[in-house]
Amino acid sequence: MKKSAAMLGLSIISIGEGKELGTAKHLVIDAAKGEVSAIVVEDGKWYLGAKILPFDMIQGIGEYALTIETDSVVTPLSSEGEIINNLEKDIRVKGTKVLSQGGKMHGQVVEILLDEQSGKITGCEVKLVNGDIAVIPV
């Protein structure tokens, strides 16, 4: 399992070309599938439009970088219709309140736990109202 915060800000390195393509800026969540479907890439060229890295194209997630096979897997957002739909939904798990069915506040989601291979959300860290942290499996 990998915490979502551990991925943001990492360099994205193309193994094939041996170069850095940018950094991981934002996770795109597909709520219907319960997974991170893509990563928004910050490459310093915002004026050319957003770039997307589909999660299933990631070769490895390390302490300092996300590695991919080739730079061609990082594509313009405009060519990724389903990912655009997920971005427009602006799905955010962090900060979500955790309530009982009766409406009692139990805490707030502070972190998402992901399967590194598939991008599936496997759990959430919740800061309980008493200040403790609990992991809720999904």
Can you give the pTM of this predicted structure?
Answer: 0.87
Domain borders along the chain are: 2-89, 97-137
pLDDT digits (tens, 9 = 90+) for 47-96: 777 899 999 999 999 999 999 999 999 998 877 678 888 888 888 899 99
- In angstroms, rounded to a whole number, what is the distance separating the alpha carbons of residues 114 and 122? 5
The secondary structure of residue 132, as a DSSP letter, is -
pLDDT of residue 84: 84
pLDDT of residue 86: 85
89 compared with 114, residue with greater pLDDT = 114
pLDDT digits (tens, 9 = 90+) for 12-46: 999 999 999 999 999 999 999 999 999 999 998 87
Architecture of domain 2-89: Roll (2.30)
Tokens standing for 95?
């900060």
